[in-house]
Amino acid sequence: MNFVGSHILSVDQFSRSDIARIFETADTMLVYAERQRITRILEGAILSNMFFEPSTRTRVSFGSAFNLLGGEVRETTEVRASSLTKGESLEDTARVLSGYSDVIVMRHPQEGSVAEFAAASRVPVINGGDGSNEHPSQALLDLYTIRKEIRTRGAGVDGLRIALVGDLKYGRAVHSLCKLLALYDNIHFSLVAPPGLSAPPAVVSLLEAKGHKVTIHHELERGIHHVDIVYVTRTQEERFASQDEADRYRGLFQLNQAVYTANCEPNTVIMHPLPRDSRSEAQELASDLDANPNLAIFRQADNGVLVRMALFALVLDVADRVDEFSKPVPWHSHR
């Protein structure tokens, strides 16, 4: 795809070579993310970071990524604090905000809302998550992490064995990640969900149509045998019709060190898009795994900054000139 000036709405937009381009660019961002150097390449540019749904990592890492490239960030964090509560349409909001910014990141609870917003925007819009539909930047950072983690073992993405665990019905990160992985060859997907939270049939048929092996499990232990990656997700409680319905799924699957040791191959990498639900009744990823070196969740979150910097640099057409506008860090860095 031509990244320059494009909206990033769905992983369907990417080919394998586009992904390679994003990841090469992300690699070049490490010196800035690690504060070895500063770049001002986006000096004068403004990001509108519009989050109409809760977010910590996605919002702050998009904002930090833009700041690290030298740009300024304006933010809305609640629907309540925006004019959408006064009945303003997404189209009008887009027309107005695109007059104030050079790029917009948007998260919204409705599926398709970010595309609707983008259609009325004069500047590129990046989807920060639209309902349970897609979360393209999360899938990119997940795949970037998978590559990095398994490369140290001499493996590549083709032939990967991955277990996706938890709420596969409403988890937009999983939906985007499955579609992205489907571009590679010969992947074994172990889809591990309680009955009622299975992956959407459209996702499963896409994987099968592309020739990947898909096995379905309703029980955690069997589903995580013989995989390179266990990708655990939170029950997306906010998407259920009622809290009572959501409560039925809480705590059904709990990956902890004992379950890991008994069922996973040694060195299986553990991932989670975060936040993990650490309430005692939930615990889909127990904190006794924190000492396990294969727990990649914080490396995964760190990678989000690199991938988001890459997306901004590509969309705003500065990916090859970031270093020209750079200098050493004058202040003490703890990194």
Sites of contact with ligand NCD (CB under 6 A): 57-58, 129, 135, 138, 172-173, 233-234, 236, 273-274
Identify which of residues 58 and 263 has a Cβ nearer to ligand NCD in the complex. 58
Tokens of 291: 């000492």
Tokens of 102: 């050079």
Contact 179, 207 (CB under 8 A): no
Identify which of residues 129 and 223 has a Cβ nearer to ligand NCD in the complex. 129
- Smallest separation, CB 99 to ligand NCD (Å): 28
- Smallest separation, CB 106 to ligand NCD (Å): 13
Q: Which of 25, 39, 58, 76 is catalytic?
A: 58
Q: Which residues pair with 125 in a beta bridge?
A: 104
217 is catalytic: no
86 is catalytic: yes
Relative to beta strand 213-217, strand 229-232 is: unpaired
Identify which of residues 7 and 135 has a Cβ nearer to ligand NCD in the complex. 135
107 is catalytic: yes
Identify which of residues 39 and 236 has a Cβ nearer to ligand NCD in the complex. 236
Identify which of residues 200 and 210 has a Cβ nearer to ligand NCD in the complex. 200
User: CA–CA separation, 26 vs 6, rounded Å?
Assistant: 18
Which candidate, 90, 94, 93, places its Cα nearest to that of 124? 94
Identify which of residues 131 and 223 has a Cβ nearer to ligand NCD in the complex. 131
Contact 138, 179 (CB under 8 A): no
7 is catalytic: no
Which residue bears the tokens 């902890």? 256
Q: Which of 135, 175, 272, 308 is catalytic?
A: 135
- Smallest separation, CB 234 to ligand NCD (Å): 4
- Identity (one letter) of the amino acid at 113? S
Identify which of residues 45 and 141 has a Cβ nearer to ligand NCD in the complex. 141
Tokens of 213: 């092996």
148 is catalytic: no
> In angstroms, what CA-CA distances link 278 with 6, 133, 235, 283, 286?
38, 25, 12, 5, 7
Element (H, E) at 20: helix 16-28
Backbone angles phi, psi at 102, to 5 degrees: -100, -20
Element (H, E) at 104: strand 103-108
Q: Which of 107, 169, 212, 234 is catalytic?
A: 107
- Smallest separation, CB 304 to ligand NCD (Å): 8
Element (H, E) at 229: strand 229-232
User: CA–CA separation, 15 vs 12, rounded Å?
Assistant: 8
Provide the sign of the torsion angle of the four alpha carbons 238, 240, 244, 250, taken in this order.
negative
Tokens of 121: 């925007």
- Smallest separation, CB 58 to ligand NCD (Å): 4
- Smallest separation, CB 263 to ligand NCD (Å): 23
- Smallest separation, CB 139 to ligand NCD (Å): 10
The DSSP secondary-structure symbol of 278 reads -
Catalytic residues: 57-58, 86, 107, 135
